[in-house]
Amino acid sequence: MSGFPRRIAHLHIDPKSLEATSLEYMQGLASCAPCVRAINVGEPGSRPHNRSYSPQYRVARLLRILTDVESVRLFGCALSPRLRVCNACSAEFYMISTTPYQQLTAVNLNGVYVSGGRLRRFVNDNARTLTTFGVKFVHLTDGTWKSIFAGLKKVGGLTSLDLFHICQKHGVRQALPVPIGWETTYRHKVVGGDKVSEFLQVAIDHFQACSNRSAIACPIPKYYDVPLLFKSLVGQPCSECDDRLKRYAELT
């Protein structure tokens, strides 16, 4: 693999299994670094919580070698918040966020508990190259998504946002009513630099975090859902509606 002429490989990393590998195996992975384009940490789907598990130096060492990757995806342990914090999610994201990437363009987080302050710094550190940002079932253990949106607003090259059911530890009352022509949802994908910038500005100005919909079934810990705003087609000129429906069809 190390003889490939260009960066095309996608490397899947299972942190828990990697800690049990030999030094020779690690050296073999390191030799493949020049051809690795993307890394996936963890596996898709819900993993069981493991309070005692925490990734060790082998994972951090491998990530430090892969600083030239263009895409990073982290799969966590839960689609709904059931713990105040997950040691495994927190440790894995810490290792990813402290890696000095040189040309990272895409970040996707799925089903993880992360520190809002750490996520904001991660966005800031990679603002020069970042173009795609996706978060699905991501639970902030501190901080607020409003701060994350403000950080993303400063990323000049951001052209794609994919947000799905994000929540945080603290509730926030909506300062301003939903603007005319906009509606709320819990999943929203925005493509295009101007559209991303417009969405983020509206999301910041009209930010709120309301009671978690699963609070009755799982009262502890308390998390708050963040509704997302999108432009409604109702009341818009037909030509604009047709254009947006066409773009939606292309995405799906």
pLDDT in tens, 195-244: 999 999 999 999 999 876 554 455 556 889 999 998 875 545 545 555 55
Confidence of residue 174 (pLDDT cuts 50, 70, 90): confident
Non-local (6+) Cβ contacts of 174 within 8 A are: 206, 207, 208
pLDDT of residue 138: 93
Asked, for residue 3, whether it belongs to a domain, the answer is no
Asked, for residue 211, whether it belongs to a domain, the answer is yes
Asked, for residue 1, whether it belongs to a domain, the answer is no
Lowest pLDDT segment from 120-124, 126-130, 227-231: 227-231
The structure tokens listed for 173 are 């009352």
Asked, for residue 4, whether it belongs to a domain, the answer is no
Phi and psi dihedrals of 26, rounded to 5? Answer: -65, -40
* Parent domain of 214: 9-251
Mean pLDDT taken over the chain? 81
132, β-bridge pairs: 106, 160
Q: Which of 39-48, 97-106, 179-188, 207-216 has the highest mean pLDDT?
A: 97-106
* Structural domain count, the chain: 1
* pTM: predicted TM-score of the whole model, two decimal places: 0.82
Buried b (16+ CB within 10 A) or exposed e, 13-24: bebeebeeeeee
pLDDT of residue 62: 83
User: Could you give the percent of the chain with pLDDT greater than 90?
Assistant: 42
Give all strands (DSSP E) within the chain, no chain letters. 9-13, 36-41, 71-75, 106-110, 113-115, 132-136, 139-142, 160-164, 167-168, 182-185, 187-191, 210-211, 224-225, 228-231
Asked, for residue 2, whether it belongs to a domain, the answer is no
pLDDT of residue 2: 46
Q: Is the pLDDT of residue 3 over 70?
A: no
Tell me how far CA of residue 225 lies from CA of 18, 80, 173, 214, in angstroms: 34, 11, 12, 10
Buried b (16+ CB within 10 A) or exposed e, 200-226: bebbbebbbbeebeeeeeeeeeebbbb
pLDDT of residue 210: 87
Q: What does the pLDDT look like over 82-112, one tens digit per residue?
A: 667 777 788 889 989 999 999 999 999 998 8
Q: Is the pLDDT of residue 146 over 60?
A: yes
